Amino acid sequence: MTMLTDRQQLSYIAAQAADARVNLELETEGMTLNIGPQHPATHGTLRIIARLDGEQVVWAEPSCGYMHRGYEKLTEVRTFPQVTALINRIDWLGSFANEVPFILAAEKLMGIEAPARAQHIRTILFELSRIANVSLFLGDLGVQLGAITPVFMAFRDREYVLNLIEGATGGRFHPNFDRIGGLKDDLPAGWIDETRSVMKKLRNFCDEIENLLFGNEIFQSRTRGIGVIPRDVAMQYGLSGANLRASGVDWDLRRDQSLPMAWNKVDWKVWTHNDGDSFARCWVRLQEVRESTKIVDQLIETIPAGPVMTKVPRIIKVPEGEAWVATENPLGEMGYYVVSKGDLGPFRVKIRSASFNNMSITPWLLKGVYVPDIITILASLYFILGDIDR
Amino acid sequence: MSTMSVLAVDLPYWAQSLLRVLGGLVAVLLPAGTIVYVFLFKMMSFMQSRLGPMEAGPFGSMQLFAEVGKWLQKEDIYPERADKFIFKLAPLIVLASTFLLVAVVPFGPDAWFTNFEAGIFYALAVSSVSVLGILIAGWASANKYSLLGGLRAAGQLIAYELPMILAVIGVVIQAGSMNLQDIVLAQNTGSMFGWDGLGNPYVLTQFVGFVVFMIAVQAELTQAPFDMPIAESELVSGYMTEYSGFRFLIFFIGEFATAGVFAMIASILFLGGWGVPFAWFGWSDIDSIDNWMNIVGPLILFTKMMLVVFVIMWVRFSYPRFREDQLQRFAWKVLIPISLVNIMVTAILKVAF
């Protein structure tokens, strides 16, 4: 047993006494519920410490770090091309999207740009990983709410997308395909036709999910008006991605910044929702999958000819400097601040992952809700644990 | 009618008792096993684009036995701070309530366990015994999730007893009896506007009561959308969290056996039970029924039970879960007023005709 100082002991006793009288009117006894680290709803090892009065949450706090793998430090002992294999594992459902901002930052430091064909294919794979990621979210949403069927549909249709990613890159989950100056390989033959048919299937999947879940009255009563994040609060807490757009902020890094990617060459729409509740977040994500299929559909028709790799030296040394590149990843804004001292590897990499910031709002959001709503709110905020504990 | 004379043989008392015990086991375990295989394994897989079990036996039909074998092998774990006696007692109470329920179910003109005058009253009363088992399971587990699950179950099952009883009252008024056998006879000897080709199944006249009853059964069985006491994604497994091995198996059997028995009661109350419309064979009352109905009757009841369970499982596999307070609101503000109006209308029509 660890020894406590007097001061700690006193504050502990005071906290216990305060906990015991949570509800002063009914004189009920409170209960601390640890949701996680081992819990079916936490997608891994997130821990939510919730102080309950009956089934109502008095306060709740996320406790992260159970799966911290120290990627920021590990990048410092890797060369630049090796880093992509690591950062693939941050958001493991949309792996390719993790590689892109880092590679773009490295390219920015080196002053090179990938050829147009590579930019196009990068964008296609980026959107495919978004589809793979968010379509699993749509299925998982059902499980969190107690409907078991949607998740199997999601796994079924996500498999088509993973097959596409595997066909192009060789890896289903962790492609490690993006290179400084371009891509590892060109697309295989017949891939584009396959993609076209898969995008049709994915749009059908979106319609199915919309009918099965979003149109369901129980689903609506469980999500509408639950976990409302007003516009100002969303911006103050630094939310990003669909969580921010669902609060009515029209902000999408794919459209709002100019990167050497192909998003500005096609016609698509950024969906927002004014409600800011759990339903809005889920709905915005559903529309995002639809938009992504449209982006992919248009891009595969217009892939320019040419090489997929510019000339880069065999041993890549990135010149001294600092660069920040962020992209709109499936979970939200993901950025890398890369500091190079002119060596083979980065001197320091700061990873800004979306889920970590999105989770920071939970203490504010979970106050006063019921235990089942914790699960809906966590599901609709959509975090991936690897993205929280990098 | 009071002595058991299946197949026109008069049996001694000990043989009757033995037959009843065996019959009770069959009547509880056979529907449970069939429901688990047909619906939980196969129909669920079909709905979710999966194959389901395929390896054990033809079409995976032996999978059930493999699962039972697996559970029997597992270590019997109980939490250190659990109240051991109560912890071990809880699953037995849940299963016992199922056996008590099946005691009043008539399977044929002579094939029953007891002919109980207040049959449906008794059935609704003993079905609540399972709440006790669930509540003490939740409490004795010394686990916060279990406690929440147990308390949720208590709140939910008490809220849903009332609409269930009120829905049944409509049937009782129409049949003029609480004896389940009489309710079956009243449906099958009845006629609709002078036409007796279908009898008078109460699902037609008591449709509102049927819907309310089925919703209440869904809640009573803690199947989705009312599975808050178990709620895998919220409470891990609710009151079952700490149970393993054989004790979990008993909970599991209890869940599906109760589903079967409640489906039987629903088909007796609303779908005509074991009987066929008596006009088909020119029967007039229970004494004139041919003896082969004692064999065919259980099969008819079983078929109707499977139809009702199909609906229960269909809803279970496709709906998300309510929240606890929404469920209470639904029970008290929607179902109970509807069933009260139903009783009133039924009573007025009963007096009028």
pLDDT tens digits for range B259-297: 898 999 999 888 888 877 777 777 777 777 777 777 888
In angstroms, the separation between the Cα of residue A84 and the nearest Cα of chain B is 34
CA distances A53 to A37, A367, A370, B39, B329, Å, are 21, 11, 9, 38, 20
Pair of tokens at residue A44: 């891994």
- CB distance B273 to B106 below 8 Å: yes
Read off the pLDDT of residues A306-330 as tens digits, 9 standing for 90 and up: 888 888 888 888 888 899 999 988 8
| B83 falls within a domain | yes
Residues in chain B whose Cβ is within 8 Å of chain A: 44, 47-50, 144-145, 148, 152, 224-225, 227-228, 231-236, 317-326
Q: Which residue of B has its CA nearest to A209?
A: B318
Residue A373 domain-assigned? no
Q: Is there a domain that residue B1 lies in?
A: no
In a domain, B10, yes or no: yes
What are the tens digits of pLDDT across the range A345-372? 889 899 988 888 888 888 888 888 888 8
Locus of tokens 């083979």 = A344
Give yes or no for a contact between A390 and A68, defined as CB atoms under 8 angstroms apart. Answer: yes
Q: How many domains does chain A have?
A: 1
Q: Does the pLDDT of residue B70 top 70, yes or no? A: yes
The whole-model pTM stands at 0.82
Q: Which domain holds residue A204?
A: 71-358
Query: Which residues, in sequence order, are CB contacts of A25 under 8 Å at separation 6+?
Result: none
Q: Dump pLDDT digits (tens) for A49-105.
A: 888 887 788 888 888 888 888 888 898 898 988 888 888 888 888 888 888 999 999
How far apart CA A162 and CA A145 sit, in angstroms, is 26
Amino acid at B87: F
Q: Is the pLDDT of residue B235 over 60?
A: yes
Higher pLDDT, B139 or A20: B139
Q: Please report whether residue A284 resides in a domain.
A: yes
Share of chain B above pLDDT 70, in %: 97
A212/chain B closest Cα distance in angstroms: 8
Q: How far is A237 from chain B (nearest CA, A)?
A: 26
Question: What is the reported pLDDT for A284?
Answer: 92
- Per DSSP, helices labelled H in chain B are 13-35, 44-47, 63-73, 84-102, 119-127, 129-140, 144-175, 180-189, 202-205, 207-220, 232-235, 245-270, 293-318, 324-329, 336-352
- Residue A224 half-sphere exposure, CB side, CA atoms within 13 Å? 10
Q: What is the pLDDT of residue A293?
A: 92
Q: Cis (ω within 30 of 0) for the bond into B12?
A: no
What confidence tens digit (pLDDT) does each residue in A233-261 have?
888 888 888 899 999 888 888 888 888 88
Answer with the residue of higher pLDDT: B19 or A21.
B19
pLDDT at position A308 is: 87
DSSP state for residue A187 in the 8-state scheme: P
In contact, A76 and A343? CB cutoff 8 Å: no
Residue B226 has pLDDT above 80, yes or no: yes
For A221, which of B47, B235, B326 is closest by C-beta distance? B326
CATH code assigned at A336 = 1.10.645.10
* pLDDT, chain A, mean: 85
CA distance B204 to chain A (A): 27
Instruction: Look at residue B189 and give its three-state secondary structure.
Output: helix
Contacts of B230 in chain A (CB under 8 A): none
> Do the Cβ atoms of A375 and B233 come within 8 Å?
yes
Cβ B190 vs Cβ B196: under 8 Å = yes
Q: Is residue B88 part of a domain?
A: yes
**Which pLDDT value is given to residue B1?**
39
Of the two residues A78 and A38, the one the predictor is more confident about is: A78
**Using the beta-carbon criterion (under 8 Å), do A39 and B236 form an inter-chain contact?**
yes
- Cβ-contact A113, A310 below 8 angstroms: yes
Residue A121 has pLDDT above 80, yes or no: yes
Q: Do A218 and B225 touch (CB under 8 A)?
A: yes
Q: Does A282 touch chain B (CB under 8 A)?
A: no
Q: Which of A209-213, A265-269, B171-175, B276-280 has the least mean pLDDT?
A: B276-280
State yes or no: pLDDT of B106 exceeds 60: yes
**Residue A196: how many CB atoms within 10 A of its CB?**
13
Q: What is the mean pLDDT of chain B?
A: 84
Chain-chain contact of A370 with B323 (C-beta, under 8 angstroms): yes
- d(CA A217, CA A145) in angstroms, rounded, equals 12
A179 backbone dihedrals φ, ψ, rounded to 5° = -125, 155
Closest-CA residue of B relative to A36 is: B236
* Within-domain flag for B69: yes
Give the minimum alpha-carbon distance from A348 to chain B in angstroms, rounded to a whole number: 39
Closest CA to A342 of A320, A325, A364, A324: A320
| Residue in B231, B319, B323 closest to A147 by CB | B319
Burial degree of B312 (CB within 10 A; 0-12, 13-18, 19+): buried
Tell me the C-alpha distance between A370 and B320, whole Å: 17
Looking at beta carbons, which pairs linking B290-298 to residues 24 or more positions away fall under 8 Å? B291/B7, B291/B8, B291/B110, B293/B108, B293/B109, B294/B6, B294/B7, B294/B107, B294/B108, B294/B109, B294/B110, B294/B111, B295/B108, B296/B108, B297/B107, B297/B108, B297/B109, B297/B111, B298/B107, B298/B108, B298/B111, B298/B274
- Residue ranges of alpha helices (H) inside chain A are 6-20, 71-74, 80-87, 95-110, 116-145, 149-169, 191-209, 217-223, 231-236, 242-245, 253-256, 278-301, 354-359, 362-365, 371-381, 385-388
Select from A31, A41, A152 the Cβ nearest to the Cβ of B233: A41
In single-letter form, the type of residue at position B159 comes to A
A37 in a domain, yes or no? no
- What value does the mean pLDDT take over residues A167-185? 87
User: Quick one: closest CA in B to A50, which residue?
Assistant: B144
**Secondary structure (3-state) at A237:** coil
Closest by CA to B217, choosing from B152, B155, B164, B168, is B164
Residue A52, in any domain of the structure: no
- Partners of residue B227 in chain A, C-beta under 8 Å: 146
Q: Do B144 and A31 touch (CB under 8 A)?
A: yes
Chain B touched by A205 (CB under 8 Å): no
Q: What is the pLDDT of residue B308?
A: 92
Residues on chain A touching B49 (C-beta within 8 angstroms) = 152-153, 156
Q: 3-class SS at B33?
A: helix
Count of CB atoms within 10 A of residue A207's CB? Answer: 12
CB pair distance less than 8 Å for B231 and A372:
yes
pLDDT classification of B117: cutoffs 50, 70, 90: confident
Amino acid in the structure at residue B353:
F
Residue A304 contacts B where some CB pair is shorter than 8 Å:
no
Give the structural domain span for B89. Answer: 6-352
Handedness of CA B80, B82, B83, B89 (dihedral sign): negative
B252 domain residue, yes or no: yes
Percentage, residues of chain A above pLDDT 90 = 13
| CA atoms of B4 and B18, how far apart (whole Å) | 12
Asked, for residue A1, whether it belongs to a domain, the answer is no
Closest chain B residue to the Cα of A211, Cα to Cα: B318
Q: How far is CA B336 from CA B161, B220, B263, B342, in A?
A: 10, 15, 21, 10
For residue A50, being part of any structural domain is answered with no
Identity of residue A228: V
Q: How far is residue B318 from each of residues A115, A223, B29, B84, B95, measured CA to CA in Å? A: 48, 17, 26, 37, 27
pLDDT confidence tier of residue A22, bands split at 50, 70 and 90: low
Chain B interface test: which of A222, A371, A376 (most B C-beta within 10 Å): A371
**Looking at the complex, does the CB of residue A40 fall below 8 Å from at least one CB of chain B?**
yes
Q: What's the domain count of chain B?
A: 1
Nearest to A218 among B47, B319, B325 (CB): B319
Closest-CA distance of chain B to residue A103, Å: 38
**For position B16, what pLDDT does the model report?**
80
B98 contacts B254 by C-beta, under 8 angstroms: yes
Q: Is B281 exposed, middle or buried (0-12, 13-18, 19+ CB in 10 A)?
A: exposed
Residue range B328-348: average pLDDT?
89
